[in-house]
Every structure is written in structure tokens, then in C-alpha cells.
Amino acid sequence: EIVLTQSPGTLSLSPGERATLSCRASQSVSSSYLAWYQQKPGQAPRLLIYGASSRATGIPDRFSGSGSGTHFTLTISRLEPEDFAVYYCQQYGSSSWTFGQGTKVEIK
């Protein structure tokens, strides 16, 4: 089973700042099979990025994803008030799905 480790656990930033979130895999993950989700309190997760770097429908272009192999990154270029939330990476492989433990982006 592939384990995803996200860092940092919490990111304290101000609106307008840049956020860089990391997702590391215990073994190589196909870039096509790496996704990112945003979750706000009391809500279901929302798909942000699929295929490591493609934005899902309706996702603003301030969100971008990159990476390959065992290291992937989600970048929010300029934080808007609505971006403060928890972010999860997720991988799929061999008919098995795993999630990272999440990174909370909080207002500084």
C-alpha cells in the first residue's frame, strides 16, 4: 500500500501570500493518478487538481499542481479568504486508493 505524507501539517499565512503544500509518496506514483482536494469545515471534499497538474472544472487558475514520482506539490499563488481550508492529496493504483493526512491552511 502506498502511503502519502503531507507537509507541513499546518500552514499559517496571510491573504495574498503564496502557499506551497507538499505530498510525498512511499513509492512512485503515476502522475496521472495523483489528485488534490479542498475541504472546508462541515463540507465534503472538493476535487481541485487531477493528473497531478490539471485543474478540475471551475477551479481558479491561482491553484496549480506539479510533481512526479514520489513528490508532488500544490501551489496557491495568492491566497484568497475562501482558500483557507484543509487540503488532501490522493493517489490511485492497483485498484486501491489512499489519501494523505491533510495540510491545514490557516489565516495568520
Partner 1 sequence: QVQLQESGPGLVKPSETLSLTCTVSGYSISSGYYWGWIRQPPGMGLEWIGSIYHSGSTYYNPSLKSRVTISVDTSKNQFSLKLSSVTAADTAVYYCAKFTYAYVAFDIWGQGTMVTVSS
- Counting contacts by CB under 8 A, is residue 70 touching partner 1? no
Cβ-Cβ contacts under 8 Å for 37 (sequence gap 6 or more): 45, 46, 47, 48, 87, 88, 89, 90
Which is closer to partner 1, CB of 14 or CB of 57? Answer: 57
- Counting contacts by CB under 8 A, is residue 99 touching partner 1? yes
> Which member of 16, 58, 81, 95 binds partner 1 (CB under 8 A)?
95
Report in angstroms how near the CB of residue 46 gets to partner 1 at its nearest.
8
Which is closer to partner 1, CB of 13 or CB of 47? Answer: 47
**How many Å apart are CA 19 and CA 65, to the nearest integer?**
12
Pattern 10-49, partner 1, x by CB under 8 A: ----------------------xx-x-x-x---xxxxx--
Sign of CA dihedral 4, 49, 74, 30: positive
**How many Å apart are CA 96 and CA 1, to the nearest integer?**
8
